[in-house]
A and B are shown apart, each in its own frame.
Chain A
Amino acid sequence: MSAVTIAKKIRLGLWLLLAPLFLWLALLIILPHFELLAFSLIDPDDQGFTFEFYLEFFQEPLYWRTFLRTAVMSILATVLTLVIAFPVAFYIAKMLRGRSKGIVFAMCLIPFWVSELVRTFGWMILLRESGVISNFLQWSGLASGPVELLYTDATIMLGLVYTSMLFMVVPLVSTLDSLDDSYIEAGYDLGGSNWDVMREIIIPHAVPGIVSGCIIVFMLSLGNYLTPVLLGGKDSLWFTEQIYTQFITRFNWEQGSAFGLLLLLLSSLIVWAGLKATGQSFTKTMG
């Protein structure tokens, strides 16, 4: 084979590998989102350009309040997940060795192989009026009648934190794993307290894990549908629910598209801000 035919073959191979990727991204990711954009900006009656669907969002308090509420609760869920997961991840990465480490880590992972629906169903059985916790409270005399623990914001928060836990624990464990014990020891040798070592050595080292965990958890909470709907009931007011209502129930695709893009804008903005604030790159954090 001459050099030219080899070069030609390589080019052909490149195109063959590029084609499926290209079709996938163009047809399923990029074009559909442009279509969404077009839908949200074009008046269905006269095909003219319009901002009315975005204006509708700002004029109707229910819409923008739901939007803000979803964003704030997702941020809160992310922070809570981080605070709860950090000590666990630290213990797995730094305190355990060998077999026990593998087992405890697997114990963290296995619940998340089970469908989110099953996990949420479990919380419903625990928390509802006729549920396990309500029964326990009555049996122990702490409550005189049935206690309804479902359908509150705290329940939604609990469900969100539970559902996203894994996506925080895994990146935290992998960054903390790479921190050499001798740095921590050096911190103590130099007279640092637990708090000093935590603040000056451990947390700075864990930043990449914290960022990627937070981004994933935030995205999952923001885009969650099952948990708010099942645990929050009719008044859960989650923005994905609004999108679903516009698209499927009301068949108002223009309004739904505008909502969808606003959600995408919000999530991109917060992800971007998170990466910017901590000097991380998107590719490294996700890949």
Chain B
Amino acid sequence: MIPSIKQSKLFNRLYISYLVWFFVFLAAPLIVVSVFAFNDSLFPSFPWQGGTLDWFFSDSGKKIGIFHDSELLGSIGLSIMIAFMATFFAVLVACSTAFLFERSDFPGKSLLYVLMLLPLVIPGVLLGVSILVFSSEIANYFEDYWMIDLEFLRPGITLVVVGQFAFITTISTLIIAARLRKFDRTLEEAALNLGASPFVAVLTITIPYLKPAIIGAAIVCFLMSFENFNTTFMLVGSDAPLTVAMFERLREGSTPVLNAISVLLMLGSGLLAIINISLQKKQQ
């Protein structure tokens, strides 16, 4: 089954056709979503009524394009803001955690490492509700005993950021730690011998070395936050980020404006994916 071992023609043909079908299966939903964004109809389905860009640019009538749909545009802005905040804190904590696990030894380190990995195996819905319950209890306590209303502990943007941070930090820690493991420490020692303080050595030698991993981790975090639904859905207040807004519209029955926004999302995440892949190539 490897190139050096010859197989029958029939086997090879079946294998190749299986792969072709597999890629058709992977691509099919994305292709239909994109195609129907350009259908001049009120529903994302057949019959084909001719091509149009109305679902992107139209600003009046029955068809409101995505660039004029203030509700969806607002939710995109909100999602971007949430993603930026969650990513910033996640990468910051991930850097410090990566140094901790790669550079120092202390009792209980392996236990802590297992705990650090836990967010990967906790279902997102559960992570969301547990944070919801915990923060509400704290908020209730402050309200009952101190008469202080801690609005940010109630469902809303802050809790969404916190909930997403709780699991994307694990992922970015793993990415940054993997790069730090490959670092040649003699470079740092050279800087120390030349009179740099440990802090300066890390700042001028190690951090630049980690830069591709940090950017890569930030891209992954940003996307995971932007696209997250499960945890976000449990923690949202009255303002809906994009995934939640799209979900509500999907349930109501959708117009092709959702296809249009999907096309934009695909372009955006495709771009980020390409940046990330080329970054990884540079690292090697």
Contact = CB atoms under 8 A, between A and B. Distances in A.
Interface in B221-276: 223, 226-227, 229-230, 233-234, 243, 246-247, 250-251, 254, 258-259, 262, 265-266, 269-270, 272-273
A165 B23 CA distance: 12
B107 to A, nearest CB: 11
Interface in B1-41: 1-5, 7, 15, 18-19, 22-23, 25-33, 36
Contact of B4 (A117, A120, A185, A219): A185
B100 A18 contact: yes
B132 to A, nearest CB: 7
Contact of A260 (B7, B46, B126, B198): B126
A125 B198 CA distance: 58
Contacts of A17: 96-97, 99-100, 104
B195 to A, nearest CB: 13
A240 B117 contact: no
Contact of B2 (A181, A257, A264): A181
Contacts of B139: none
A184 B22 contact: no
B123 A219 contact: yes
Interface stretch (B51-59, B70-78, B108-116, B204-212): B108-116
Contacts of A9: 198
A225 B125 contact: yes
A69 interface: no
B2 A28 contact: no
B49 interface: no
Interface residues of A, number: 89
Nearest to A124: B250
B32 A116 contact: no
Given A117-B229, A283-B117, A125 B32 contact: yes
Contacts of B127: 29
B127 to A, nearest CB: 8
B146 interface: no
Contacts of B33: 118, 121-122, 125
Contact of B130 (A16, A32, A184, A198): A32
Of B45, B258, B265, most buried by chain A (CB within 10 Å of CB) is B45
Contacts, number: 237
Interface stretch (B61-69, B161-169, B183-191): B161-169
A273 B174 CA distance: 24
A109 B117 contact: no
B93 interface: yes
Given A28-B165, A87-B18, A223-B230, A130 B26 contact: no
Interface string B102-145: 00101000101111111111111111011111100100000000
A46 to B, nearest CB: 18
Nearest to A91: B19
A263 B122 CA distance: 9
Nearest to A118: B262
Report whether over half of chain A's contact residues are helix, strand or loop; otherwise say mixed: helix
A114 B258 contact: no
Q: Please indicate which of the listed interface residues B117, B130, B243 has the most CB atoms of chain A within 10 Å of its own CB.
A: B130
Contact of A32 (B7, B25, B133, B265): B133
Interface string A253-269: 10011001001100110
Given A94-B1, A132-B46, A263-B123, A111 B27 contact: yes
B216 interface: no
Contacts of B148: none
B29 A240 contact: no
A33 B128 CA distance: 10
A70 to B, nearest CB: 11
B279 interface: no
Interface of A: 9, 13-14, 16-18, 20-21, 24-25, 27-33, 35-36, 39, 84, 87-88, 90-91, 94-95, 106-111, 113-126, 128, 130-132, 135, 162, 165, 181, 184-185, 188, 194, 197-198, 202, 215-216, 219, 222-226, 230, 240, 243-244, 247-248, 253, 256-257, 260, 263-264, 267-268, 271, 282-283, 286-287
Interface of B: 1-5, 7, 15, 18-19, 22-23, 25-33, 36, 43-46, 92-93, 96-97, 99-100, 104, 106, 110, 112-127, 129-134, 137, 162-163, 165-166, 169, 174, 198, 223, 226-227, 229-230, 233-234, 243, 246-247, 250-251, 254, 258-259, 262, 265-266, 269-270, 272-273, 277
30 contacts: A17-B96, A18-B106, A20-B92, A20-B97, A21-B100, A29-B119, A33-B130, A35-B133, A36-B134, A90-B1, A91-B15, A94-B1, A113-B223, A117-B247, A121-B250, A122-B262, A126-B28, A130-B46, A135-B46, A162-B25, A185-B4, A219-B120, A225-B229, A230-B250, A240-B230, A244-B234, A247-B132, A253-B133, A260-B126, A263-B123
